[in-house]
């Protein structure tokens, strides 16, 4: 049995996610309790035992230690049954020599998928799209990305986004296009020069009046 609470206005950046209780490959999960205090990566896939989805789960599983190092809980999601998930996971682990350590939620009735905007009728009548959602420890949506059915997602990009969000949280900075760790970051426009100097000393550079760069303190 599943319990779902809707999010008024739908799932958008800044939304507080709705709670649900659902069966999964790790047993019954109360989503809000399971993810409380953690960053969360929730991703939906169209169907178990399909080629693109199989490579996605294997790729995400191969990055297990990277997600763990960032304090991120990973959860997969589709409309398949728990039994389907379990058999599929065993095949993935054997074929790709990975450990699928994260739970995959089962939503055969499609109630949760509907509330989270994972089903797009113009793409598929009943299967989830490839939706990636990053949620912060306060259960606020910080990132949403959707891939078409024929294109697999990139877990390295998800990790990059999470690192950028966590860096921004710690140091009140923004990150430039294609940022990776070690690359200078941006001082937000909301911080004037005095605030920037107080926060970062003389280590920041004004590239343009509205573009100031600094190496993150860490």
Please answer whether residues 165 and 142 qualify as being in contact, where contact means their C-beta atoms are separated by less than 8 angstroms.
Answer: yes
| Token pair 């009548």 in the structure block, residue | 125
Active site residue 53: yes
Please answer whether residues 177 and 184 qualify as being in contact, where contact means their C-beta atoms are separated by less than 8 angstroms.
Answer: no
The DSSP H or E segment spanning 148 is: none
Dist CA 2 CA 115 (whole Å): 12
DSSP class of residue 191?
S
DSSP class of residue 19?
P
Catalytic residue among 11, 29, 42, 53: 53
- What SS3 state is found at 134? strand
Active site residues: 53
């Amino acid at each position: 049995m599943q319990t779902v609470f809707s999010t008024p206005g739908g799932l958008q950046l800044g939304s507080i996610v709705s709670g649900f209780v659902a069966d999964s490959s790790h047993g019954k999960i109360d989503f809000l309790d399971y993810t409380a205090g953690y960053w969360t990566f929730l991703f939906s896939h169209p169907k178990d035992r399909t080629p693109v989805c199989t490579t996605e789960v294997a790729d995400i599983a191969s990055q297990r230690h990277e997600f763990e190092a960032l304090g991120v809980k990973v959860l997969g999601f589709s409309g398949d049954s728990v039994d389907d998930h379990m058999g599929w996971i065993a095949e993935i682990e054997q074929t790709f020599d990975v450990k699928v350590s994260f739970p995959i939620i089962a939503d055969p009735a499609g109630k949760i998928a509907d509330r989270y905007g994972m089903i797009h009728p113009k793409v598929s009548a009943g299967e989830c799209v490839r939706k990636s959602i990053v949620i912060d420890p306060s259960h606020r949506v910080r990132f949403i990305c959707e891939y078409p059915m024929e294109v697999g997602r990139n877990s390295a990009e998800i990790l990059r986004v999470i690192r950028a969000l966590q860096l921004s949280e710690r140091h009140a900075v923004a990150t430039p296009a294609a940022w990776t760790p070690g690359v200078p970051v941006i001082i937000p426009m909301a911080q004037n020069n005095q605030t920037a100097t107080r926060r970062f000393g003389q280590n920041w550079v004004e590239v343009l009046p509205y573009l100031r760069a600094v190496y993150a303190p860490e």
